[in-house]
Amino acid sequence: MTTHCARHHRGQMAHLAGDAAEQRVAEDYERRGFQVARRWRGPGGEIDIVARGHGGVVFVEVKKSRSFAEAAARITRRQMDRICASASAFLETEPFGQLTQTRFDVALVNAAAEFEVIENAFGTA
């Protein structure tokens, strides 16, 4: 296998693993009574999961890595700002607009496909 092919294969495997991680987290939110949409795209970029329920909207960023700590380390301030920009655009379509009850969660997924959800990970709502 050439270097380019090996890199492409690793990229495909990472994409599939990330997709499976997002699906598991989305199913967890659905089990908890949320209506879930995946991969909502706004002007700041993609939001992995938008979960509606319990009187508000939860924006969820899913990060997968070998460990929870490594996954958490992959979240940057710039990325949080982009997610917030897209969330703001999403809220423009809501009946209460920017006054909609919102929360930003982060779901960390490790190599064993275990996940941990950090609610309100971006600070106070």
User: What is the domain partition of the chain in residue ranges?
Assistant: 3-118
Listed in sequence order, the DSSP H helices in the chain are 3-31, 68-73, 77-91
Question: According to the model, what pLDDT value does residue 19 have?
Answer: 85
| Pair of tokens at residue 32 | 């908890």
Q: Which CATH architecture has domain 3-118?
A: 3-Layer(aba) Sandwich (3.40)
Q: Residue 5 class from Cβ within 10 Å (0-12 exposed, 13-18 middle, 19+ buried)? A: exposed
Q: What is the pLDDT along the chain (125 residues), one digit of tens a residue?
A: 566 666 655 556 666 667 889 999 999 999 999 999 999 999 889 999 999 999 999 999 999 999 999 999 999 999 999 999 999 999 999 999 999 999 999 999 999 999 999 999 987 54
What pLDDT is recorded for position 125? 46
> How far is it, in rounded angstroms, from Cα 103 to Cα 87?
10
pLDDT at residue number 110: 94
Burial of 99 (0-12, 13-18, 19+ CB in 10 A): exposed
Angle at CA of residue 115, ends 118 and 46, nearest 5°: 70
In this structure, what token pair is assigned to residue 23?
Answer: 């699906």
CA–CA separation, 111 and 95 (whole Å): 40
Report which residue type is found at 113: A
Cα–Cα dist 97/117, whole Å: 26
Q: How many residues does this entry show for the chain?
A: 125
Note the pLDDT of residue 14.
64
